[in-house]
A and B are shown apart, each in its own frame.
Chain A
Amino acid sequence: EAQVTQNPRYLITVTGKKLTVTCSQNMNHEYMSWYRQDPGLGLRQIYYSMNVEVTDKGDVPEGYKVSRKEKRNFPLILESPSPNQTSLYFCASSKATGTSIHNEQFFGPGTRLTVL
């Protein structure tokens, strides 16, 4: 089954404790992306990647890191989480055509993160 998986699905942590949210897709997609969703603000893009070893900042990259060492995986790293990073996080992937993305994105189920 074609899918995007995220782990963990729920996480409660404390300020300053480094954490990683994993994302994996089995569709051989070039494009992967992380979003956060907050009430009233919709989805905001954190980072995206057009392919292995290529990452770019989205709208709200501060406080986050990503890496793309393999095509299927795109982990999101919070080196020192703060309460304002409490949010619902989504990973997504898409096929890319040439240097542009034209196609639908497939979303993971989401990770609900609470930083105390």
Chain B
Amino acid sequence: SQQGEEDPQALSIQEGENATMNCSYKTSINNLQWYRQNSGRGLVHLILIRSNEREKHSGRLRVTLDTSKKSSSLLITASRAADTASYFCATPRGDNNDMRFGAGTRLTVKP
């Protein structure tokens, strides 16, 4: 079963708007990671947030983590057409080292 599940599955916005994607997970984690994938290409790491952190920023990205709700969100501010991609959350399980990815959110930013 999927450990991380992203919501929504697809999101379409205009350039300049903010995009928010959510991720829920089921088991305990030691960190949660967000990745980006341009169509058919390898994933690129965006940001990692540890289980003892609540919020983290990187440029136009803001990630929050709520371990009590087992959820995380990724906010992309002032979106650009170049942000069009699929975004995945991933978690290494706390008692194991396998990595679980969600099915992803497909973001389309219209110019």
Binding site for B on A (CB under 8 A): 4, 31, 33, 35, 40-45, 48, 50, 56, 58-59, 88, 90, 92, 96, 99-110, 112
Contact = CB atoms under 8 A, between A and B. Distances in A.
B26 to A, nearest CB: 13
A108 B42 contact: yes
B31 A102 contact: yes
Nearest to A88: B40
Q: Is the interface of A mostly helix, strand, loop or mixed?
A: strand
Interface of B: 2, 30-31, 33, 35, 40-45, 48, 50, 88, 90, 92, 97-104
Q: Is the interface of B mostly helix, strand, loop or mixed?
A: strand
B97 A105 contact: no
A45 B97 contact: no
A104 B42 contact: no
Contact of A35 (B30, B50, B101): B101
Given A42-B88, A88-B40, A90-B42, A104 B101 contact: no
Contact of B103 (A41, A58, A102, A108): A41
Shortest Cβ-Cβ A-B pairs, 4 listed: A107-B42, A104-B45, A42-B103, A43-B101
A41 B6 CA distance: 11
5 contacts: A42-B101, A48-B98, A50-B97, A104-B48, A105-B99
A58 B93 CA distance: 12
Q: Which among B2, B33, B41, B43 has the highest number of chain A CB atoms within 10 Å?
A: B43
B95 to A, nearest CB: 10
Given A42-B2, A107-B43, A110-B40, A102 B101 contact: no
B65 to A, nearest CB: 15
B41 A56 contact: no
A101 B88 CA distance: 18
A92 B50 CA distance: 20
Contact of B97 (A4, A101, A110): A101
A31 to B, nearest CB: 7
Contacts of A50: 97
A37 B33 CA distance: 18
Contacts of A33: 99
